[in-house]
Amino acid sequence: MKKSALIFGLFLALALVLACCAPKKPAGPPQELVDEIGAAESVYHDLSALNPSDQNSASYRALIADAKGKLDAGDYKGAMAKARAAHLEAERLYARLVYAELEKYHPPTPLTYHYRQGLKSSDDAQKAGDIPGAIKAAQDAREQARLALQLQKQCMDDMAQRLAGLKNEIELLYKPNLDLILLYWDSMDSLPQLDCEKSKAMVNELARWVAQFKANTIAMQRVYYVNASFDYIKMYGDPYMYGEVTPDGKLKTRVDQVQVGQPLTFIRSMLFSRDKTLYFVEDQRNGVEGWMAEERVWPERAMQH
């Protein structure tokens, strides 16, 4: 019995010695390091939608490659430093790209203040050795640029909607001033320039002119008289009234033929383009309604385009 216990003890001791001498399985990288690399790559994935140039993204790519290289080599401390630097570079690049989108809208200086302040705070934190703080400040700068961009886009949308409403009002005006019409088209042409302040000033002025014209217009019979030259009549006959306007501004489907000099009641116009306005009118003889070209009802205005 004692001999068996002694043999068991020897085997146990030998097992413990072998266990102590066996090579230990190396520990994996710290989760904090894995998360930092993942955070950097996630930010870069998101900013890729803004199409950064190879030159702009070169610094980030080099840093994240260094971080992964040190991770594979087991240099976790060095890998963490590179991963944080890559994260910071990605955040700053993202902020700059959003700001570049904002600049397309010609933002006033006060609207960019918080973005600029955020990047300065990021630089200051980095110089102080506070990389997490620098990352947070860069994130804040990007958010401020995003909010400013959202405001500018909303402003341009608002101007487009206001112009659509003013267009409806103008098209109901009987013989509006040419300057008013030209200001409408100038305002429309300003929209693609993405300059909110410029478009807003023009739209406000147009709204003032429309209101003033409506206030100063005395109720009157809204009448046009059919016009065509002798040569036109000789070639085509009396002018026609049409039932529809095609998407490219052509008149289609004859609904009435009206003699020169015949009075027509104005219903509305269509500001189709800067050099083309069409008129929806009613033939006073028979009540037929349809579209006619400007030169057929208001030749003096047609010549001014």
DSSP-assigned letters across all residues of 265-296:
EEEEEEEEETTEEEEEEEETTT--EEEEEHHH
Which pairs with CB-CB distance under 8 Å and at least 24 residues apart come from 197-201? 197/106, 197/108, 198/106, 199/155, 199/156, 199/159, 200/155, 200/159
pLDDT score for 147 = 98
Q: What is the mean pLDDT of residues 269-291?
A: 97
Q: Three-state SS for 240?
A: strand
Quick check: 251 pLDDT over 90?
yes
Q: How far apart are CA 164 and CA 182, in angstroms?
A: 15
Q: Bridge-partner residues for 273, per DSSP?
A: 276
Question: Residues 257-275: what's their mean pLDDT?
Answer: 97
Q: What is the pLDDT of residues 7-60, one digit of tens each?
A: 444 444 444 444 444 444 456 899 999 999 999 999 999 999 999 999 999 999
Per-residue model confidence as pLDDT tens digits over 83-126: 999 999 999 999 999 999 999 999 999 999 999 999 999 999 99
Task: Give pLDDT tens digits for 143-190.
Answer: 999 999 999 999 999 999 999 999 999 999 999 999 999 999 999 999
User: Residue 147 is encoded by which pair of tokens?
Assistant: 């909010």
pLDDT of 298: 97
**Which residue, 113, 137, 112, is CA-closest to 126?**
137
pTM score, whole prediction: 0.82
pLDDT of 74 higher than 50: yes
Tens of pLDDT, residues 191-227: 999 999 999 999 999 999 999 999 998 867 899 999 9
Rounded Cα gap, residues 283 and 292, in angstroms: 11
For position 217, what pLDDT does the model report? 84
Across the range 246-266, mean pLDDT stands at 97
Instruction: Go through 35-59 and write b for each residue having 16 or more CB atoms within 10 A of its CB, e for each that does not.
Output: ebbebbbebbeebeeeebeeeebee
pLDDT of residue 221: 81
Q: Tell whether the model's pLDDT for residue 270 goes beyond 70.
A: yes
The whole-number pLDDT of residue 218 equals 80
pLDDT of residue 4: 53
CA 142 to chain centre: 16
**C-alpha closest to that of 68 among 33, 93, 30, 27:** 33
**pLDDT reported for residue 27:** 64
How much is the mean pLDDT over the chain? 92
Say what angle helices 54-72 and 31-47 make with each other, to 10 degrees. Answer: 160
> What span, in angstroms and rounded, lies between the C-alpha atoms of 83 and 34?
9
- pLDDT at residue number 38: 97
Residue 131 is classified by DSSP as H
